[in-house]
Amino acid sequence: MKFEYFIAKRIIDSKAYKSSVSAPIIKIGIAAIAIGIIVMMIAIATGIGLQQKIREKVVAFNGDIIISNFDSNNSQESGRPVSLNQDFYPEFKSVEGINHIQAVASKFGIIRTERDFEAIILKGVGADYNWMYFESFMKEGRMPDYSKEMNDEVLISEYLANRLGFKINDNFITLFRKEDPNKPPFMRPNKIVGIYNSGFKDFDETYVIGDLRHLQRLNKWEEDQAGHFEVFVNDYRKLNEIYNNVYNNTPSMLNVTTVEQKFGSIFEWIKIFDKNIYGIIGIMILVAGINMITALLVLILERTQMIGVLKALGSNNWTIRKIFLYNASYLITLGLIWGNALGLGLLFAQKYFSLFPLNPDVYYVTEAPVYISISYILALNIGTFILCLIMLLLPSYLITKISPVKAIRFE
- Would residue 389 count as lying in a domain? yes
Are 246 and 327 members of one domain?
no
| 65 occurs within a structural domain | no
Could you tell me if 177 and 286 lie in one domain? Answer: no
**Both 100 and 11 in a single domain?**
no
Encode pLDDT of 289-335 as tens digits.
888 888 888 888 888 788 888 888 888 888 888 888 888 898 899 99
166 occurs within a structural domain: yes
Task: Please report, for residues 55, 260, 262, the alpha-carbon distance to residue 268 in angstroms, rounded to integers and kept in the order given.
Answer: 11, 8, 11
Confidence label for 156 from pLDDT (cuts 50, 70 and 90):
very high
Q: Which residue, of 228, 252, 276, is where some domain finishes?
A: 252
Distances (CA, A) of 207 to 109, 155, 225: 10, 9, 21
pLDDT in tens, 15-27: 655 566 667 888 8
386: left (phi over 0), alpha (psi -120 to 50) or beta: alpha
| pLDDT bucket at 240, cuts 50 / 70 / 90 | very high
Q: Which domain holds residue 218?
A: 71-252
CA pair distance 191, 72, nearest whole angstrom: 34
Is 50 found in the same domain as 157? no
Q: Please tell me whether residues 90 and 33 are part of one structural domain.
A: no
Average of pLDDT values for 219-240? 94
Task: Report the percentage of the chain scoring pLDDT > 70.
Answer: 95
Which of 192, 218, 252 is the last residue in one of the domains? Answer: 252
* Separation of CA 364 from chain center: 12
User: Is the separation of the CB atoms in 168 and 193 below 8 Å?
Assistant: yes
User: Rounded distance, CA 300 to CA 306, Å?
Assistant: 9
pLDDT band at 225 (very low <50, low <70, confident <90, very high): very high
User: pLDDT band at 74, cuts 50/70/90?
Assistant: low
Task: Give the single-character DSSP code of 357.
Answer: B
Q: Which of 208-212, 218-222, 328-332, 357-361 has the lowest mean pLDDT?
A: 357-361
Query: Residues 218, 282: one domain?
Result: no
**Number of domains forming the structure of the chain:** 2
DSSP label of 219:
T
Task: Classify residue 277: in a domain, yes or no.
Answer: yes
Query: Does 89 reside within a domain?
Result: yes
Banded pLDDT at 146 (limits 50, 70, 90)? very high
Confidence grade of residue 183 (pLDDT, cut at 50, 70, 90): confident
**Residue 62 included in any domain:** no
Same domain, 128 and 156: yes
Tell whether 202 and 159 lie within a shared domain: yes
* 25 and 120 together in one domain: no
Is residue 105 assigned to a domain? yes
Together in a domain, 174 and 220: yes
Please indicate, yes or no, whether residues 197 and 174 belong to a single structural domain of this protein: yes
Residue 258 lies in a domain: no
Same domain, yes or no: 305 and 225: no
Which of 206, 221, 252 is the C-terminal boundary of a domain? Answer: 252
Q: Which residues contact 273 (CB under 8 A, 6 or more apart)?
A: 47, 48, 50, 51
